[in-house]
């Protein structure tokens, strides 16, 4: 079972991807992890990716797809995987489909974790990070025992630039531009499933397992 997770930054798709991976005992794969592993291991694909990343350039779609397909061919993916953060664009989705088809495989589900933008801005605006150890909290969902003080190391907490409303709004605009066509692409392919990401984490997960099967 190959599952693609879609959802805006802060929608909670990463959390759900980890839960899916644990329940169905399939790997949770993000392109960031793939890049890091290949670069660390000094693979040919890793070296190619590094030349782009060192120059601050985006890794070309063709190379990203090669890296992903190489990862999908590893033994631990024989029963499937959860792809998180890939594909991001139509050309990537088309290239992935083509590569999988040549291996006699396909994407089974594209799960879109749907959360309105205003909820995401509020949700991410409540995040706080410790300046000392990097632990993360949330003013509403995961508060510290003592306000403004890290439970782990006693350091002070800050609102990261990434989580400021103006930054989040910008990231959401980019996401919608890039990803709305993807949602349409998978809807046309008949494999798009939408879940309500505003619910409690466990309720969202129940909705997803209802789609994927127990």
Angle 19-20-22 from CA coordinates, rounded to 5°:
65
Say if CB 135 and CB 150 are below 8 A apart: yes
Is residue 13 among the annotated active site residues? yes
Say if CB 71 and CB 53 are below 8 A apart: no
- Of 47, 160, 170, 206, the catalytic one is 160
Q: What are phi and psi of 58, to 5 degrees?
A: -70, 140
**Rounded Cα–Cα distance for residues 127 and 139 (Å):** 6
| For helices 165-188 and 90-102, angle between their N-to-C axes, nearest 10 degrees | 40
User: Tokens standing for 121?
Assistant: 């801005």
Rg (CA), the chain: 18
- Of 50, 88, 193, 199, the catalytic one is 88
Half-sphere exposure of 125 (CA within 13 A, CB side): 12
- Of 2, 13, 123, 128, the catalytic one is 13
Is residue 171 among the annotated active site residues? yes
Chain centroid offset of residue 104 CA = 25
Is residue 160 among the annotated active site residues? yes
Is residue 127 among the annotated active site residues? yes
Is residue 206 among the annotated active site residues? no
- Of 50, 164, 171, 199, the catalytic one is 171
Q: Which residues are catalytic?
A: 13, 88, 127, 160, 171
């Amino acid at each position: 079972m190959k599952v693609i997770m879609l959802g805006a930054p802060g929608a909670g798709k990463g959390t759900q991807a980890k839960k899916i991976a644990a329940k169905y005992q399939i790997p949770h794969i993000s392109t960031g992890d793939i890049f890091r592993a290949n670069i660390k291991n000094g693979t040919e694909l890793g070296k190619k990716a590094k030349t782009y990343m060192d120059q601050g350039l985006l890794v070309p779609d063709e190379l990203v797809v090669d890296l992903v397909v190489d990862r999908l061919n590893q033994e631990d993916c024989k029963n499937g995987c959860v792809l998180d953060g890939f594909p991001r664009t139509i050309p990537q989705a088309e290239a992935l489909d083509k590569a999988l088809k040549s291996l006699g495989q396909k994407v089974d589900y594209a799960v879109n974790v749907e959360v309105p933008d205003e909820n995401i801005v509020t949700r991410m605006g409540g995040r706080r990070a410790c300046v000392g150890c990097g632990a993360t909290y949330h003013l509403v969902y995961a508060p510290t025992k003592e306000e403004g003080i890290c439970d782990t190391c006693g350091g002070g907490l800050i609102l990261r630039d990434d989580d400021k409303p103006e930054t989040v709004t910008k990231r959401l605009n980019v996401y919608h531009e890039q990803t709305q066509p993807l949602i349409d692409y998978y809807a046309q392919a008949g494999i798009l499933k939408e879940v309500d990401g505003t619910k409690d984490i466990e309720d969202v997960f129940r909705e997803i397992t209802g789609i994927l099967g127990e």
